[in-house]
């Protein structure tokens, strides 16, 4: 398969505009300006691309919600707050091929009528933020950003906004809140950002990888894009594999690649002779899968059918001997640490669960702990303001379902039986 997302990242000086242009960059945006906004939106719709940030919302549809009123200011925000544990794909693009993202943002801004674009990058990615700022400077210098780009009516300013350590800002309305200088707590919807987003103006928020797909859709065409992946989840996807495999790393593969192929062919299989015990297929919010599920394809539908999700495509592989109570503890500790505090079930529930899991992990369990955990999951799931709480609960429920004995043994002071 021809790579479009990771094609440049290993090239020398790949982050420089000269290198990007030499490798065919910035052709798509010229093409796009000829097409006009409506055509671009139609093409993106036709391509069937779905958001790569985790929720899988059809990108073209999202763009089409933006009012056409030319008197309204509109904004594009790139969600580069990559924070779902196990996920490291967007960082690779921003560090090594920033112009690919910029080009995607230019086309998108033109399509939705935005004159300003912000890249909300998580604060820890200082290196990436500097790379992006340098790339933006280059783009201004070469006339790709600024007033009347290529002599057209289209003008675009682009800025990097650094986060400062808050997973919740990956939620789009929390991101807007943070960008406006507030505490990153989600806003109620409606109004949806497409109508009242940043500074109350129509706003599109797209993930880095989604935006990075846009130039290829314009340049190579809708048919080309749809020729990869599955019918309902077309196109390529970056899978970031970590954990107990021989060759962890990023793999750009068609949507619908099986987990087995990803782990055993591309990643070279397990790191030692211990067999695979479980795999988290889409970041820690996604319920885990077990060896029987390895032939499941990595796409939105198949993952959903298995009760889990494709999420960000972050695949975390665990070998036999991994303590699932500890895995559950680590992930829930993360969620309670990142809970923003806004709604009751998430704020109070995730910390309660974490305290129980910590006891279990330290062999200080009590009878009834596991039942209580499941009850608490039930009191959080579907009751929270935003999906963070749901994510925490789904992963834990999955772990308990598949490895109940391990949890029970911890609760009964029998030590870790993993």
Partner 1 sequence: MATVIINGKTSSVKDGTLILDAARDAGVEIPTFCYQADLMGVGSCRMCLVEIEGQKKLQPSCITPVMDGMSIQTETPQILKARQGVLEFFLSNHALDCPVCDKGGECELQDMVYKHGPVEGRYAESKHRFHEKDYILSPVIVKNSNRCVQCLRCVRVCDEVVGRNVLASLGRGHEQEETSFLRSRLDCDHCGNCIEVCPVGCFMRLPYRYKSRPWDLKGTDTICPYCATGCRMVVEERDGEALRARAQIGVGINSETLCARGRFGFDFINDPRRLTTPLVKKFGKLEPATWSEALDFISEKLSGIEGERIGGLASPVLTNEELYSFQKLMRSTLGSPNIDSSTRWDPVVVENYIAASAMTSGGLSVFDAAEADTLFVAGTQLSDENPIVDYIARRISAERGTRIIVASVRDMKLDSSAGLSIRHLPGGLGALMKAAALSLYESKKDKLQGFAGVERFEGLSADVLLGEAGVSSDELAAITKRFETSATVALTAGTDLLRQSCGILALGLLSDVLKALGKEVLILPILDRANQRGAWEMGVLPGLAPGYRTASKRGLGTKEMIEAAAAGGIDAMYVIGEDPVGENPSGVSAFDALSKLSFILVQDTFLTDTAAMADCVLPGAFPAEKDGTFTNQEGRVQAMRRLKAPPGDARAYLAIIASVSGVLSSTTGVCTKTNSMQVFNEIRKEAPAYAGVSLEFNNRKNKLNKLDNREALAGASEGGFTPVAMTSCAPAAEQRGEGEFYLITGNTLFHSGRLSHSSPTLTGLQKGAALELSEADASALGLSSGEEARVQGNDYEVTLPVRLRKGMRDGVVYIPEFFPGVSVERFFTTGVSLPVVKVKKS
Partner 2 sequence: MLTDKVREEILKITAKYYNKRSAVMDALMLVQKDCGGNITRGDMEDIADMLEIKPHEVNAVATFYTMYNYAKPVGRYHIQVCRNISCALLEAERVIAHIEDTLGIKTGDTTPDNKFTLSTAECLGSCGTAPMMQINDNYYENLTPDKVDAILKGFE
Q: Give the one residue of 68, 141, 337, 413 binding partner 1; rule: CB under 8 A.
A: 337
Of 17, 135, 145, 166, the residue at the interface with partner 1 (CB under 8 A) is 166
Nearest to 93 by CA among 210, 265, 182, 194: 210
How many Cβ atoms are within 10 Å of 191's Cβ, its own excluded? 13
Contact 166, 178 (CB under 8 A): yes
Q: Locate 382 and state its tokens.
A: 């579907």
- Residue from 59, 79, 173, 336 that binds partner 1 (CB under 8 A)? 336
Q: Is 316 helix (H, G, I), strand (E, B) or coil?
A: strand
Q: Among residues 12 and 188, whose Cβ is nearest to partner 1?
A: 188
Q: Is the peptide bond before 191 cis (omega within 30 degrees of 0)?
A: yes
Report the nearest approach of partner 1 to the CB of residue 222 (Å): 33
Cα 339 to Cα 236: distance, rounded to the nearest angstrom: 32
**Residue 94, interface with partner 1 (CB under 8 A)?**
no
Q: Is there a contact between 42 and 60 (Cβ–Cβ < 8 Å)?
A: yes
CB 179 within 8 A of CB 120: yes
144 binds partner 1 (CB under 8 A): no
Give me the least distance between CB of 121 and partner 1, in Å please. 20
Site for partner 1 contains 352 (CB under 8 A): yes
The residue (of 74 and 342) whose beta carbon lies closer to partner 1 is 342
Q: Which of 63, 239, 385, 407 binds partner 1 (CB under 8 A)?
A: 385
Indicate which of partner 1, partner 2, none lies near residue 59 (CB less than 5 to 8 Å, by partner kind): none
**For 182, which DSSP code?**
S
323 scored as a contact of partner 1 (CB under 8 A):
no
Q: Is 10 in the site for partner 1 (CB under 8 A)?
A: no
In sequence order, the 6+-apart residues with CB closer than 8 A to the CB of 354 are 329, 332, 333, 335, 336
Give the shortest CB-36-to-partner 2 separation in angstroms. 27
Residue 369's contacts (CB-CB under 8 Å, 6 or more residues apart) are: 356, 359, 360, 407, 411
199 contact choice in partner 1, partner 2, none (CB below 5 to 8 Å, kind-dependent) = partner 2
Number of neighbouring beta carbons within 10 Å of residue 185: 19
Query: Can residue 47 be called a binding residue for partner 1 (CB under 8 A)?
Result: no
Residue 379 interacts with, from partner 2, partner 1, none (CB under 5-8 Å by kind):
partner 1
Q: Which residues bind partner 2 (CB under 8 A)?
A: 82-88, 90-91, 122-127, 159, 161-167, 178-184, 198-199, 240-244, 248-250, 280, 284, 314, 316, 318, 322, 326-327, 330-331, 334, 337-338, 340
Is there binding between residue 372 and partner 1 (CB under 8 A)?
A: yes
Residue 50: closest CA among 316, 310, 315: 310
Q: Which residues bind partner 1 (CB under 8 A)?
A: 166, 183, 188, 336-345, 347-352, 355-356, 359, 366, 372, 378-380, 382-385
């Amino acid at each position: 398969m021809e790579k479009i997302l990771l094609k440049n990242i290993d090239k020398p000086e790949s982050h420089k505009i000269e290198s990007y242009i030499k490798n065919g960059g910035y052709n798509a945006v010229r093409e796009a300006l000829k097409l006009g906004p409506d055509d671009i939106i139609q093409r993106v719709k036709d391509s069937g691309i779905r958001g790569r940030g985790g929720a899988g919302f059809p990108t073209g549809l999202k763009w089409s919600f933006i009012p056409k009123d030319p008197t309204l200011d509109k904004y594009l925000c790139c969600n580069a707050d990559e924070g779902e544990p196990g996920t490291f794909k967007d960082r690779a693009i921003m560090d090594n091929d920033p112009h690919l993202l910029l080009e995607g943002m230019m086309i998108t801004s033109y399509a939705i009528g935005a004159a300003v674009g912000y890249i909300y990058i998580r604060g820890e990615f200082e290196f990436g933020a500097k790379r992006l700022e340098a790339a933006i400077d280059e783009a201004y210098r070469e006339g790709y950003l600024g007033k009347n780009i290529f002599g057209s009516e289209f003008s675009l300013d682009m800025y990097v906004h650094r986060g400062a350590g808050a997973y919740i800002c990956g939620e789009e309305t929390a991101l807007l809140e943070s960008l406006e200088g507030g505490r990153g707590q989600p806003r109620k919807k409606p109004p949806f950002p497409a109508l009242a987003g940043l500074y109350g103006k129509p706003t599109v928020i797209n993930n880095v990888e989604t935006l990075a797909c846009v130039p290829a859709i314009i340049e190579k065409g809708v048919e080309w894009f749809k020729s990869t992946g599955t019918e309902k989840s077309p196109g390529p996807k970056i899978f970031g594999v970590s954990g107990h495999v021989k060759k962890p790393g990023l793999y750009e593969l068609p949507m619908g690649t099986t987990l087995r192929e990803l782990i055993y062919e591309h990643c070279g299989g397990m790191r030692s002779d211990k067999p695979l015990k479980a795999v988290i297929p889409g970041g820690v919010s996604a319920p885990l899968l077990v060896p029987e599920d390895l032939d499941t394809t990595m796409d939105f539908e198949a993952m959903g059918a298995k009760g889990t999700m494709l999420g960000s495509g972050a695949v975390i592989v665990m070998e036999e001997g991994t303590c699932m109570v500890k895995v559950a503890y680590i992930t829930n500790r993360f969620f309670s640490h990142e809970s923003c505090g806004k709604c009751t079930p998430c704020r109070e529930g995730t910390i309660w669960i974490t305290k129980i899991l910590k006891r279990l992990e330290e062999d200080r369990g009590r009878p009834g702990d596991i039942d209580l955990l499941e009850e608490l999951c039930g009191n959080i799931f579907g009751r929270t303001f935003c999906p963070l709480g749901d994510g925490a609960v789904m992963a834990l429920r999955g772990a308990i379902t598949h490895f109940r004995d391990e949890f029970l043994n911890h609760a009964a002071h029998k030590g870790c039986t993993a």
